């Protein structure tokens, strides 16, 4: 887990073109106020993975 400029996002990118993004839901009344977004798209997953590789290099460990 890493942080960059105080930004935290829960995200998983698989090698099978799956992307899962966890986002806080401030309007939820659930115990864990989170929304998960699931996408399966090769170009989006590949692009996001490349971007995250670059971000990972400059981010600080938590």
Predicted pLDDT at 6: 59
Give the sign of the dihedral formed by CA 31, CA 39, CA 49, CA 14: positive
User: Where are the domains positioned within the chain?
Assistant: 2-61
Predicted pLDDT at 59: 83
Average pLDDT of adjacent 10-residue blocks, the chain of 62 residues: 65 94 86 90 95 86 74
Q: Return d(Cα 46, Cα 13) in angstroms, integer.
A: 9
Map tokens 């977004």 to a residue.
37
- Return all residues near 29 (Cβ < 8 A) that are at least 6 apart: none
Statement: the pTM of the whole predicted model exceeds 0.85: no
Predicted pLDDT at 4: 64
Q: Which CA distances in Å does 60 have to 4, 8, 55?
A: 6, 12, 10
The strand pairing partners of 4, in sequence order, are: 7
């Amino acid at each position: 887990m890493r942080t960059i400029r105080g930004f935290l996002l829960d995200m998983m990118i698989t090698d099978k073109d799956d992307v899962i993004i966890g986002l806080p839901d401030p309007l939820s009344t659930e115990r864990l106020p989170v929304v998960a977004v699931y996408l399966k798209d090769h170009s989006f997953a590949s692009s996001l993975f490349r971007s995250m590789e670059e971000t990972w290099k400059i981010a600080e460990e938590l």
